C-alpha cells in the first residue's frame, strides 16, 4: 500500500449510496488497486483536496499540471479509492493507451490481477469497470450535415425577412426558385450559412438531432454501467462541440464526479467558449507551474535554444522579388530614405514660407513641442494643410498625409486620446515621423516606441489607413488604381486590406521562411552539437507540421521549394546525408509512414517483431526496399497496424538506442506522447497557439526513473528560425518564434526564470536590433556553448531549493556605452576637489604619523641600548611600515572611489534614491528596504532590476517609477539633472579606472553634467513629493535642482527620447 493510502480512504463512503450489481462487481475487482510507489508532495496535496471537495458535496475538481507531472497517476488513484465504475476520456488514442499502461503500477506486488477484466474500451460488451474512450467516440455525428442545412435554411429565411422585408412565405419561395433555377448559387449561399453555423455549432445543436445512434447507445450503456466518476484528460479541448457533448454525457450519467486534468488551460477564447469550459469543469482548484516541478525534481531542468539560418540563394531571390513591389510603392509614395534626403514642411497657405524645418543637435532631432507656426492659420479660421517636401521640392504623398493627420489629432492635447483609440496608427505615425527627422507631438509618452524605425507592420498600418480612408473613397478615379496597387502589394507580403481593416494572412514569403531548405541542414548542425556533449546518451526528436507539403501549400511557391520542403521527409533526407547519420540512424514516424535508415532496418524489424509478440499482437511485418533511397519503408497488412501501435514500439526501440533520432509530425509527437529518455527536442513546427506550444515543450522534460543518471537530466529544446534581416518581411519567422516564447517561462543566463524570448538570449526581445540578426553566427555560437554545458543549466535551476511560487515583475535596461560614477564625495557632502584634498591630507597624516613614531622609537632605542645599528634598523622598519600603510590606505580609497564604476553600482544609487522618496510619500510599504533591491548583470551587459520579498503593488509602483526615471525623456512635467563622472567601457576599462583615480587624487577630476532624468509622475504631483525626491536624489545620486519641463522646452527638445531602452519582464520565483 502506498503512503497515500489514508488520503482518499473515505471517498467511497461519499460516492455511493445505492449500489447496482455492476457497481458491486466493480468494487470487488478494484478493491486491491493502489499506487505502489511514493507519491510526490503536490500529488498528495491534490488528492487531499479531492477528498475535502467530495466531503463538502462538490462534484467538480479541476487540476492544472504540466506534461510529466503525473496527472494520469492522480486520476487512477482517485478511481482506485472510489472503487466505482469510471469513465476516462482523452483526445487521442496515444493518450488513451497510456492510461491502460499506467494501471499496471496500481497492482500490488505478488497479486495476480487480470487488468483486461478491469479496463477496456467501447468495444467491450459489457463495459469494463474502467472504460477509456476518446472524445471522438462519444461525439460521432450522425445527421449533422442534414441538421445544419435545415438550420441554415431557417437563418437564410430570417436574413431575407430582415434585409429584403419579405414575408416568411415569400422568402421560402425565393429559396425554392433559386434551388430550381440556379442550383450553383443556392449551394454557394447555403454553404455560407452552414459554415457560419458550424463555427457556433455548440450553441445551436440539439444533441439528439446530431449524435450518431452508436454514440447515443454508448452513452446509455455507460449510464446502465453506473459510472460514478468521469475523468476529462487534456480537458482544454472542451470549449466547443466536444464541450456540448460532454455536458450531455454528464447529465445522462446522473451527476457523477467530474475530474478535469490539463497541463494547459485554454487561453484566448471567446466568452462563450470560456463559459462552456468553466461550466463543465469548474474553476481551477490546483495549479502546478512547470518551474515548481523542476525545483521539486518532478521534471527535468531544461533550456530553450535557437539556431538562426538564412534562406538559400534561390529562396532569397524569390523573397527579394516579392518585396520589389513594396519598395517601388514606398519610393513613389514616400521618397528616398532619410539617409539620402532631408525633408521639410511647407505651409500650403503660404508656399513662400518654409517653416518647421527640423534642426539637429548632437545628431538628434530637435522636437518642436508646441508645433510653433503650424497653428498660425487657425487665427484666421483656416484649417492649415501642410506638405512634406524633399530638398528638390517634390512632395512626399504619404509623409504629408501622415503629418496632417498627426497635426489634426495633436491640437489641444488630444494626442493621448487619439492614441488610446488608434494605438497602432498613432505609434506607426510617430515612428515614421521620427525616422524621417520630422516633429512628433509633445504628448508622446512611450518614447521607446518612437525611436525604433518603422517595421513592415507599421508601414502596412499606414498604407491601409491611407488607402481605405483617402484613396478608396476619393472622387478622383485615378486614386482607385493606386488603392488597388496598394492592396496587391500588401497581399504579396501577407496582409489583406478589407472593409473590416487590415488582416494578416498566409503568404508565399511566410511559407518560404517557415519551410526553408536551410532548416534541414540546421537540424544536422544542432545534432552534431548535441552529439559532442551527449555521445551515445543522445535521444533526439525533430517535430514538423507535416510529412510532405500539400499540393495547395506548394502552389504559390512552386519552383522555389520542392515537394518535401518543410516536412518530416525533408529533414529525414538531410540527416541521412549528414556525416552523423551512421551514429543517429534516424527513423521517420508519421500518420502514413514508418521509414528506417537502411543500416538498421533488419535490427529494427527484429526488435519490432519481439515487441509485437510480447504484447500479444499478430502482425506480419513487410519491408519495402526503396530503390535509389538510403531508407526502407516498414508496413503491415494487419488491421492492427495503425499509428498508435507503431508509435509505441518505435518509441521503445528509440529509448534502447537502436535509433537515436526520431522525426515525426506534431499530430503524433505532440500532445500525449511520452519518452522519458528524450533529452533533445527540435521544434520545426509553425504552431504558436499556447496549448500546442506548451504541450510540445513538455515532451522532453520527463525524468527516466530507472536511469541512475536520470536525476541530473537536462533537456535542450531548440527552435530553428530562418531570417532575411535585410528585407522588411524577412523577420516573420522570428516573430513566430517570439510569439511562441512569450507564453512560457525558462531559465535565463543569470539564473532567473523568465517569461518570453529573453530567457533564450538577452539580446532577443520585442526591440531586438538589426545588428543582432546580422551577427546571427555569434548567437548560434553562444547557443552551442550553452547547449554543451548542461551542468551549468542544472545549477541555474537551483533544483531542490525552496521557492515562493509567484510571478513578479522586473525591468531590464540596455547596457550603457559608458560607466557612470556617482560623485565619490557625495556621502561626505564635499565637492570632488574638496574630497581629493581630504584624501591627500589623510595620506600625508598617515606618513607623518608613522615616520614620527619611527623617530621616537629610534631615539628611545638609542637611549636604552646605545647602539646606532638598532636605532637605524627600527627606523627602517617603521619607514617600511609607513609605505605599507600608505599603499593599503591609498588602495582602500581607490576601491571606495572606483567601486561606483561597477556595472550595477550606479543603478543601485538611483534605485535607493527612488525607494527612499517613494517610502517617504507612503507610495510603498515601510517594510520594503534597500536590501530588497536586486540588481544583476546579464551576459550581454543588460541590467536586470527587481524588488524581492515585496508584494505585487509595491513592486509595480517601484518598477514603473524606476522605468520612467531611467528611461528616455518624454512627456513628464519635471526633470532632474545628474552630475558625475564617466569612464569609457572598453577593453582597457580596469586601466581607465586606475587612471581616473590618479587624476581624481590630484584634484583634476571635476563632476560634469551627464544628462537629465524625467521625474516619475507619481512623485511629480505635489510639491512635497518633489522635494522628497530631490532630497533623496541629492543624497544618493547627484547634487541637482528640479527643472520644470514647460519652462525649458529647449531642454525637453534636446533630450527627447535620449536614454536607454527599459523593458518590462516577468519572473517566476
End-to-end Cα distance, the chain:
35
Backbone torsion region of residue 140, taken as left when φ is above 0, otherwise alpha when ψ lies between -120 and 50, otherwise beta = beta
Sign of CA dihedral 657, 659, 663, 664: negative
Residue 198 has what pLDDT?
Answer: 63
Q: Which 3-state string (H, E, C) describes 410-442?
A: HHHHCHHHHHHHCHHHHHHHHHHHHHCCCCCCC
Residue 785 pLDDT level (bands cut at 50, 70, 90): very high
Among the listed residues 297, 698, 716, the one whose alpha carbon sits nearest the alpha carbon of residue 533: 716
- Quick one: which H or E segment has residue 131? strand 130-134
Q: At what angle do helices 868-898 and 989-1001 cross, to 10 degrees?
A: 110
Q: Which of the pair, 792 or 37, is modelled with greater confidence?
A: 792
Contact between residue 250 and residue 224 where contact means Cβ atoms under 8 Å apart: no
Residue 145 pLDDT level (bands cut at 50, 70, 90): low
- Partners of 978 in the β-ladder: 1011
The sheet with strand 386-390 has its strands ordered as 354-355, 343-347, 386-390
Per-residue pLDDT for 204 more than 60?
no
Per DSSP bridges, beta strands 86-90 and 130-134 are: parallel
Residue 823 pLDDT level (bands cut at 50, 70, 90): confident
- Cell numbers at 759, concatenated: 530567457
Residue 202 has what pLDDT?
Answer: 53
Per-residue pLDDT for 689 more than 90?
no
Instruction: Tell me the C-alpha to C-alpha distance, in Å, between residue 174 and each of 85, 156, 165, 307.
Output: 55, 10, 13, 60
Range with the largest mean pLDDT of 100-104, 690-694, 951-955: 951-955
Residue 692 pLDDT level (bands cut at 50, 70, 90): confident
Per-residue pLDDT for 149 more than 50?
yes
- Cell numbers at 117, concatenated: 477484466
Residue 449 pLDDT level (bands cut at 50, 70, 90): low
* Residue 164: half-sphere exposure toward Cβ, Cα within 13 Å: 13
Q: Which of the pair, 367 or 319, is modelled with greater confidence?
A: 319
User: Which range, of 15-24, 81-90, 555-564, 565-574, averages the lowest pLDDT?
Assistant: 15-24
Q: At what angle do helices 952-966 and 905-920 cross, to 10 degrees?
A: 120
The average pLDDT across 432-449 equals 76
Instruction: Tell me the C-alpha to C-alpha distance, in Å, between residue 280 and each of 76, 96, 127, 225.
Output: 20, 21, 25, 22
Provide the percentage of residues in the chain whose pLDDT is more than 70. 89
As a 3-state breakdown, the chain gives helix, strand, coil percent values, each rounded to 5, of: 50, 15, 35
Q: What is the DSSP letter of 37?
A: S
- Cell numbers at 570, concatenated: 525533408
Per-residue pLDDT for 382 more than 80?
no
Q: What is the pLDDT of residues 602-656, one digit of tens each?
A: 999 999 999 999 988 889 999 999 988 999 999 999 988 989 899 999 999 999 9
Q: Give me the residue label for grid cell 527627422.
A: 437
Burial of 87-111, coded b for 16+ CB within 10 Å and e otherwise, reads bbbbbbbbbbbbbbebbebbbeeee
Per-residue pLDDT for 978 more than 50?
yes
Classified as helix, coil or strand, 1018 is helix
Range with the largest mean pLDDT of 219-223, 244-248, 342-346, 808-812: 808-812
Residue 553 pLDDT level (bands cut at 50, 70, 90): low
Among the listed residues 911, 942, 943, 906, the one whose alpha carbon sits nearest the alpha carbon of residue 819: 906
- In degrees, rounded to 5, the angle at the alpha carbon of residue 611 between the alpha carbons of residues 605 and 617 is 100
The average pLDDT across 1024-1046 equals 90
User: Which range, of 71-85, 383-397, 797-811, averages the lowest pLDDT?
Assistant: 383-397
Distance, in Å, from the CA atom of 1030 to the CA atom of 914, rounded to the nearest integer, reads 10
Q: Is 32 exposed, middle or buried (0-12, 13-18, 19+ CB in 10 A)?
A: middle
Residue spans of alpha helices (H) in 38-119: 41-55, 71-82, 93-102
Residue 144 has what pLDDT?
Answer: 61
Classified as helix, coil or strand, 845 is helix
Residue 961 has what pLDDT?
Answer: 93
The average pLDDT across 418-422 equals 86
Residue 358 pLDDT level (bands cut at 50, 70, 90): very low
879: CB partners within 8 A, 6+ apart:
850, 851, 854
Residue 1008 has what pLDDT?
Answer: 82
Per-residue pLDDT for 737 more than 50?
yes
The average pLDDT across 112-134 equals 85
Contact between residue 299 and residue 290 where contact means Cβ atoms under 8 Å apart: yes
Burial of 841-873, coded b for 16+ CB within 10 Å and e otherwise, reads eebeebeeebeeebeeebeebeeeeeeeeebee
The average pLDDT across 716-732 equals 94
Distance, in Å, from the CA atom of 954 to the CA atom of 947, rounded to the nearest integer, reads 8
Q: At what angle do helices 643-656 and 93-102 cross, to 10 degrees?
A: 60
At 88, phi and psi to the nearest 5? -115, 125
Read out DSSP for 582-637?
HHH--EEE-SS-EEEEGGGHHHHHHHHHHHHHHTT----EEEEE-TT-SEEEEEE-
Per-residue pLDDT for 261 more than 90?
yes
- Cell numbers at 839, concatenated: 584624501
Q: What is the DSSP letter of 665?
A: E
Contact between residue 370 and residue 1049 where contact means Cβ atoms under 8 Å apart: yes
Bond prior to 905 in cis (omega within 30° of 0)? no
1039: CB partners within 8 A, 6+ apart:
823, 826, 979
At 127, phi and psi to the nearest 5? -65, 150
Per-residue pLDDT for 894 more than 80?
no
Q: Which of the pair, 125 or 662, is modelled with greater confidence?
A: 662
Residue 349 has what pLDDT?
Answer: 67
The average pLDDT across 264-280 equals 86
Q: Give me the residue label for grid cell 532590476.
A: 945
Residue 391 has what pLDDT?
Answer: 87
Provide the percentage of residues in the chain whose pLDDT is more than 90. 38
- Quick one: which H or E segment has residue 305? strand 302-309
The average pLDDT across 217-246 equals 89
User: Which range, of 432-436, 508-512, 823-827, averages the lowest pLDDT?
Assistant: 823-827
Residue 207 pLDDT level (bands cut at 50, 70, 90): low
Residue 366 has what pLDDT?
Answer: 33
The average pLDDT across 1006-1023 equals 88
In Å, how far from its chain's centre is CA 240? 26
Distance, in Å, from the CA atom of 51 to the CA atom of 44, rounded to the nearest integer, reads 11
Contact between residue 303 and residue 793 where contact means Cβ atoms under 8 Å apart: yes
- Partners of 141 in the β-ladder: 211
Residue 769 pLDDT level (bands cut at 50, 70, 90): low
Classified as helix, coil or strand, 983 is strand
Q: What is the DSSP letter of 561?
A: B
Per-residue pLDDT for 895 more than 90?
no
- Cell numbers at 665, concatenated: 509530425
Per-residue pLDDT for 934 more than 70?
yes
User: Which range, of 3-12, 105-114, 486-495, 961-970, averages the lowest pLDDT?
Assistant: 3-12
Residue 555 pLDDT level (bands cut at 50, 70, 90): low
User: Which range, of 5-19, 511-525, 778-792, 840-854, averages the lowest pLDDT?
Assistant: 5-19
Amino acid at each position: 500500500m502506498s503512503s497515500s493510502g489514508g488520503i482518499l480512504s473515505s471517498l467511497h463512503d461519499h460516492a455511493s449510496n445505492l449500489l447496482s450489481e455492476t457497481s458491486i462487481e466493480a468494487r470487488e475487482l478494484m478493491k486491491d488497486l493502489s499506487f505502489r510507489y511514493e507519491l510526490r508532495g503536490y500529488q498528495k496535496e491534490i488528492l487531499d483536496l479531492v477528498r475535502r471537495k467530495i466531503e463538502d458535496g462538490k462534484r467538480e475538481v479541476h487540476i492544472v499540471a504540466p506534461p510529466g507531472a503525473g496527472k494520469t497517476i492522480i486520476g487512477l488513484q482517485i478511481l482506485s479509492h472510489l472503487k466505482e465504475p469510471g469513465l476516462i476520456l482523452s483526445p487521442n488514442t496515444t493518450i488513451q493507451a497510456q492510461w491502460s499502461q499506467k494501471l499496471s503500477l496500481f497492482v500490488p506486488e505478488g497479486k495476480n490481477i487480470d487488468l483486461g477484466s478491469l479496463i477496456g474500451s467501447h468495444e467491450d460488451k459489457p463495459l469494463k469497470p474502467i472504460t477509456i474512450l476518446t472524445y471522438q467516440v462519444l461525439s460521432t455525428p450522425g445527421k449533422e450535415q442534414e441538421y445544419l442545412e435545415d438550420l441554415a435554411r431557417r437563418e437564410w429565411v430570417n436574413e431575407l425577412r430582415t434585409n429584403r422585408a419579405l414575408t416568411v412565405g415569400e422568402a421560402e419561395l425565393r429559396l425554392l426558385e433559386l434551388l430550381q433555377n440556379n442550383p450553383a448559387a443556392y449551394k454557394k449561399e447555403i454553404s455560407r450559412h452552414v459554415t457560419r453555423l458550424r463555427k457556433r455549432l455548440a450553441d445551436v445543436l440539439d444533441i439528439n438531432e446530431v449524435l450518431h445512434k452508436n454514440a447515443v447507445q454508448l452513452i446509455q450503456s455507460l449510464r446502465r454501467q453506473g459510472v460514478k466518476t468521469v475523468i476529462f484528460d487534456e480537458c482544454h479541448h472542451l470549449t466547443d462541440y466536444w464541450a456540448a457533448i460532454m455536458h450531455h454525457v454528464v447529465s445522462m450519467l446522473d451527476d457523477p464526479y467530474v475530474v478535469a486534468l490539463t497541463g494547459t488551460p485554454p487561453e484566448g477564447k471567446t466568452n462563450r467558449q470560456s463559459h462552456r469550459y468553466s461550466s463543465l469543469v469548474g474553476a481551477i482548484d490546483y495549479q502546478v507551474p512547470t518551474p515548481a516541478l523542476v525545483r521539486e525534481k518532478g521534471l527535468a531542468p531544461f533550456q530553450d535554444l535557437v539556431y538562426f539560418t538564412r534562406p538559400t540563394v534561390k529562396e532569397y531571390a524569390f523573397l527579394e522579388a516579392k518585396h520589389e513591389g513594396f519598395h517601388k510603392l514606398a519610393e513613389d509614395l514616400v521618397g528616398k530614405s532619410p539617409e539620402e534626403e532631408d525633408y521639410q514642411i511647407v505651409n500650403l497657405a503660404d508656399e513662400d514660407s518654409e517653416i518647421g524645418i527640423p534642426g539637429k543637435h548632437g545628431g538628434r532631432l530637435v522636437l518642436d513641442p508646441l508645433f510653433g507656426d503650424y497653428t498660425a492659420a487657425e487665427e484666421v479660421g483656416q484649417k492649415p494643410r501642410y506638405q512634406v517636401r524633399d530638398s528638390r521640392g517634390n512632395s512626399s504623398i504619404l509623409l504629408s498625409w501622415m503629418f496632417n493627420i498627426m497635426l489634426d489629432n495633436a491640437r489641444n492635447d488630444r494626442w493621448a486620446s487619439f492614441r488610446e483609440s488608434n494605438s497602432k496608427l498613432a505609434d506607426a505615425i510617430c515612428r515614421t515621423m521620427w525616422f524621417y527627422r520630422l516633429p512628433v507631438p509633445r504628448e508622446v509618452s512611450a518614447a521607446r516606441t518612437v525611436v525604433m524605425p518603422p517595421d513592415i507592420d507599421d508601414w502596412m498600418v499606414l498604407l491601409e489607413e491611407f488607402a481605405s480612408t483617402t484613396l478608396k473613397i476619393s472622387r478622383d478615379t485615378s486614386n482607385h488604381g493606386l488603392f488597388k496597387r496598394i492592396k496587391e502589394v500588401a497581399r504579396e507580403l501577407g496582409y489583406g486590406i478589407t472593409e473590416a481593416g487590415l488582416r494578416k494572412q498566409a503568404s508565399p514569403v511566410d511559407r518560404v521562411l517557415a519551410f526553408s531548405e536551410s532548416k534541414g541542414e540546421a537540424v544536422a548542425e544542432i545534432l552534431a552539437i548535441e552529439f559532442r556533449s551527449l555521445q551515445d546518451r543522445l535521444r533526439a526528436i525533430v517535430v514538423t507540421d507535416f510529412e510532405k507539403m500539400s499540393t495547395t501549400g506548394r502552389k504559390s511557391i512552386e519552383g522555389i521549394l520542392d515537394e518535401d520542403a518543410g516536412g518530416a521527409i525533408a529533414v529525414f533526407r538531410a540527416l541521412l546525408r549528414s556525416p552523423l547519420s551512421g551514429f543517429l540512424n534516424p527513423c521517420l514516424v508519421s500518420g502514413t509512414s514508418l521509414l528506417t535508415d537502411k543500416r538498421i532496418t533488419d535490427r529494427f524489424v527484429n526488435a519490432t517483431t519481439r515487441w509485437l509478440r510480447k504484447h500479444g499482437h499478430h502482425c506480419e511485418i513487410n519491408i519495402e526496399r526503396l530503390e535509389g533511397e538510403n531508407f526502407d519503408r516498414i508496413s503491415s497488412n494487419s488491421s492492427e497496424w495503425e499509428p498508435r501501435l507503431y508509435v509505441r514500439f518505435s518509441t521503445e526501440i528509440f529509448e534502447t538506442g537502436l535509433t537515436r533520432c526520431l522525426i515525426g509530425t506534431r499530430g503524433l509527437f505532440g500532445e500525449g506522447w511520452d519518452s522519458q529518455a528524450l533529452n533533445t527536442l527540435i521544434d520545426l513546427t509553425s504552431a504558436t497557439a499556447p496549448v500546442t506550444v506548451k504541450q510540445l515543450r513538455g515532451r522532453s522534460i520527463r525524468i527516466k526513473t530507472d536511469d541512475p543518471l536520470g536525476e541530473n537530466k537536462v533537456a535542450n529544446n531548440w527552435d530553428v528560425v530562418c531570417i532575411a534581416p535585410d528585407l522588411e518581411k524577412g523577420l516573420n519567422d522570428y516573430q513566430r518564434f517570439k510569439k511562441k516564447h512569450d507564453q512560457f517561462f525558462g531559465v535565463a543566463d543569470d539564473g532567473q526564470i523568465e517569461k518570453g524570448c529573453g530567457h533564450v538570449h538577452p539580446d532577443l526581445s520585442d526591440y531586438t536590433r538589426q545588428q543582432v540578426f546580422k551577427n546571427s553566427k555569434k548567437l548560434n555560437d553562444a547557443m552551442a556553448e550553452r547547449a554543451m554545458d548542461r551542468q551549468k543549466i542544472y545549477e541555474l535551476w537551483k533544483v531542490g531549493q525552496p521557492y515562493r511560487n509567484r510571478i513578479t515583475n522586473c525591468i531590464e535596461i540596455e547596457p550603457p556605452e559608458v560607466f557612470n560614477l556617482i560623485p565619490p564625495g557625495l556621502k561626505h557632502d564635499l565637492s570632488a576637489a574638496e574630497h581629493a584634498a581630504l584624501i591627500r591630507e589623510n595620506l600625508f597624516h598617515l606618513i607623518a604619523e608613522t615616520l614620527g613614531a619611527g623617530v621616537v622609537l629610534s631615539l628611545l632605542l638609542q637611549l636604552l641600548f646605545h647602539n646606532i645599528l638598532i636605532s637605524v634598523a627600527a627606523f627602517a622598519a617603521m619607514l617600511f611600515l609607513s609605505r605599507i600603510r600608505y599603499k593599503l590606505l591609498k588602495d582602500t580609497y581607490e576601491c571606495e572611489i572606483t567601486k561606483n564604476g561597477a556595472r550595477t553600482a550606479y543603478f543601485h544609487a538611483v534605485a535607493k534614491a527612488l525607494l527612499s522618496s517613494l517610502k517617504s510619500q507612503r507610495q510603498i510599504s515601510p517594510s520594503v528596504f534597500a536590501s530588497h533591491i536586486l540588481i544583476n548583470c546579464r551576459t550581454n551587459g543588460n541590467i536586470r532590476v527587481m524588488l524581492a520579498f515585496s508584494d505585487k503593488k509595491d513592486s509595480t509602483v517601484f518598477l514603473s517609477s524606476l522605468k520612467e526615471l531611467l528611461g528616455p525623456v518624454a512627456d513628464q512635467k519635471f526633470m532632474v539633472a545628474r552630475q558625475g563622472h564617466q569612464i569609457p567601457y572598453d577593453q582597457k576599462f580596469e586601466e581607465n579606472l586606475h587612471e581616473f583615480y590618479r587624476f581624481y587624487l590630484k584634484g583634476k577630476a571635476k563632476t560634469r553634467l551627464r544628462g537629465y532624468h524625467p521625474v516619475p509622475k507619481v512623485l511629480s504631483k505635489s510639491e512635497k513629493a518633489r522635494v522628497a525626491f530631490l532630497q533623496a536624489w541629492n543624497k544618493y545620486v547627484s547634487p541637482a535642482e528640479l527643472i520644470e519641463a514647460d519652462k525649458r522646452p529647449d531642454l525637453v527638445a534636446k533630450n527627447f527620447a535620449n536614454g536607454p531602452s527599459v523593458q518590462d519582464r516577468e519572473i517566476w520565483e
